[in-house]
C-alpha cells in the first residue's frame, strides 16, 4: 500500500493543507514554501486514519487503547526517527501508532496544547 504524501502547515492561526504530492501545481509550491520558518510548522500525513476515518497527522493529539486493550493512552503524534515510524508521545514515552487501537483524534498540539498537561 502506498502512502499519500501530504503536508499541512500551521501558520500560527490556522492550518493550510496541500494536495497529495503528485497533484501539486506552481501555486501550491509557492503557498507552502512562502511561510516564515520561524512562525510556521510543517507536518506530514501519517498514512493512518482514526476510527472515524479522519486523517491522522503529525501534531494531532490522539487517544486510544494500547494494543492489549488494557491501558487507555493519550499523546501527540510525532515521527520516531530511531524506529522509523510514527508514534504517540505519551506517558509511556513513544508508542508506535501500530500498537494503539481505536485511535480518536481529540485536537492538535497547536490548537489545544493544554490537553497534554
pLDDT digits (tens, 9 = 90+) for 47-96: 999 999 999 999 999 999 887 666 788 999 999 999 999 999 987 789 99
φ/ψ of 21, rounded to 5, equals -50, -45
Taking the C-alpha atoms of residue 80 and residue 95, their distance in angstroms, rounded to an integer, is: 9
Top-confidence range, 14-23, 25-34, 41-50, 103-112: 103-112
**The CA-based dihedral angle spanning residues 81, 9, 3, 50, taken in that order and rounded to the nearest 10 degrees:** 90
pTM for the model: 0.80
Cell digits for 61? 493529539
Amino acid at each position: 500500500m502506498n502512502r499519500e504524501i501530504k503536508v499541512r502547515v500551521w501558520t500560527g492561526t490556522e492550518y493550510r493543507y496541500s494536495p497529495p504530492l503528485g497533484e501539486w501545481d506552481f501555486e501550491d509550491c509557492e503557498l507552502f514554501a512562502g511561510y516564515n520558518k520561524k512562525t510556521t510548522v510543517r507536518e506530514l500525513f501519517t498514512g493512518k486514519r482514526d476510527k472515524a476515518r479522519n486523517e491522522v497527522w503529525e501534531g494531532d493529539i490522539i487517544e486510544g487503547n494500547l494494543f492489549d486493550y488494557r491501558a487507555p493512552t493519550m499523546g501527540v503524534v510525532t515521527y520516531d526517527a530511531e524506529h522509523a515510524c510514527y508514534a504517540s508521545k505519551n506517558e509511556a514515552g513513544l508508542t508506535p501508532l501500530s500498537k494503539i487501537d481505536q485511535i480518536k483524534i481529540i485536537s492538535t498540539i497547536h490548537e489545544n496544547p493544554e490537553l497534554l498537561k
